[in-house]
């Protein structure tokens, strides 16, 4: 009886430790297979395997309060930035580089210098009733195609930074001539749900 209880107790501890890990071995190996200055390959919808992965719903990163001291995730963020910089895009989601987690980069068109920021475990908590048809939406995972997509005029969002700080703010902007930060956030958030801009084309 005592041996059985001891075995069950050990099993619970092992299971708990596995379930509370913030990163899997497969993810860790994929992230650390190159140095922080090496960009990831971006998945393409023209590849059937890539396309299936892009349609999966991503999962939250656990223990976000420790993210600033998590070497593997910090390494990932640096490689993700390098990938976006090389691709010359305005946003990039983790699933686009084979990491099925709720993380993306988005360019802050609304800030001086247009810095690129990280959103971890993002949520859209509120949005406008009105939508607009955003012109010439495109995606680094969908080569040689663009289209006009249906987007909210503004979104109220919550997310964590790479330092573990929680942010809540309202993002707007739907014009390429002025600001479209809100659209970028919506586009990248969709990636985490397995949704692509071609699913939201205007009639």
Q: Which residues contact 49 (CB under 8 A, 6 or more apart)?
A: none
Look up the pTM and report it: 0.88
User: Which whole number is the average pLDDT over 163-185?
Assistant: 96
**Calpha distance 50→31 (Å, rounded):** 17
User: Which whole number is the average pLDDT over 62-82?
Assistant: 96
Residue 163 has pLDDT above 90, yes or no: yes
What pLDDT is attached to residue 9?
47
What pLDDT is attached to residue 2?
56
Residue 16 has pLDDT above 50, yes or no: no
Among the options 88, 153, 156, 188, which is catalytic? 188
The first and second tokens of residue 4, run together, are 């059985």
First-to-final CA distance of the chain: 67
Domain 2-200 = CATH 3.40.50.450: no
What pLDDT is attached to residue 15?
37
**Calpha distance 179→161 (Å, rounded):** 22
Confidence of residue 169 (pLDDT cuts 50, 70, 90): very high
Helix ranges restricted to H, the chain: 2-19, 25-31, 48-54, 71-87, 181-192
User: Which whole number is the average pLDDT over 93-119?
Assistant: 98
CA 60 to chain centre: 10
User: Which whole number is the average pLDDT over 51-69?
Assistant: 96
What pLDDT is attached to residue 203?
78
Instruction: Tell me, yes or no, if 188 is annotated catalytic.
Output: yes
């Amino acid at each position: 009886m005592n041996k059985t209880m001891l075995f069950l107790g050990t099993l619970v501890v092992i299971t708990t430790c596995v379930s509370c890990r913030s990163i899997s071995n497969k993810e860790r190996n994929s992230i650390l297979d190159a140095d922080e200055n090496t960009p990831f390959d971006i998945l393409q919808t023209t590849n059937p395997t890539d396309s299936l992965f892009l349609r999966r719903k991503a999962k939250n990163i656990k223990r976000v309060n420790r993210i600033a001291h998590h070497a593997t995730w910090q390494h990932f963020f640096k490689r993700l930035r390098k990938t976006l910089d090389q691709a010359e895009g305005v946003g990039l989601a983790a699933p686009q580089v084979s990491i099925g987690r709720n993380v993306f980069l988005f360019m802050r068109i609304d800030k001086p210098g247009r810095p690129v920021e990280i959103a971890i475990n993002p949520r859209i908590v509120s949005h406008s009733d009105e939508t607009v048809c955003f012109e010439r939406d495109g995606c680094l995972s969908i080569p040689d195609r663009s289209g006009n997509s249906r987007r909210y005029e503004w979104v109220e969002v919550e997310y964590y930074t790479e330092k573990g700080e929680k942010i809540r703010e309202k993002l707007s902007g739907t014009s390429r001539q002025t600001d479209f930060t809100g659209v970028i956030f919506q586009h990248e958030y969709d990636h985490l749900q397995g949704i692509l801009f071609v699913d939201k084309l205007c009639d």
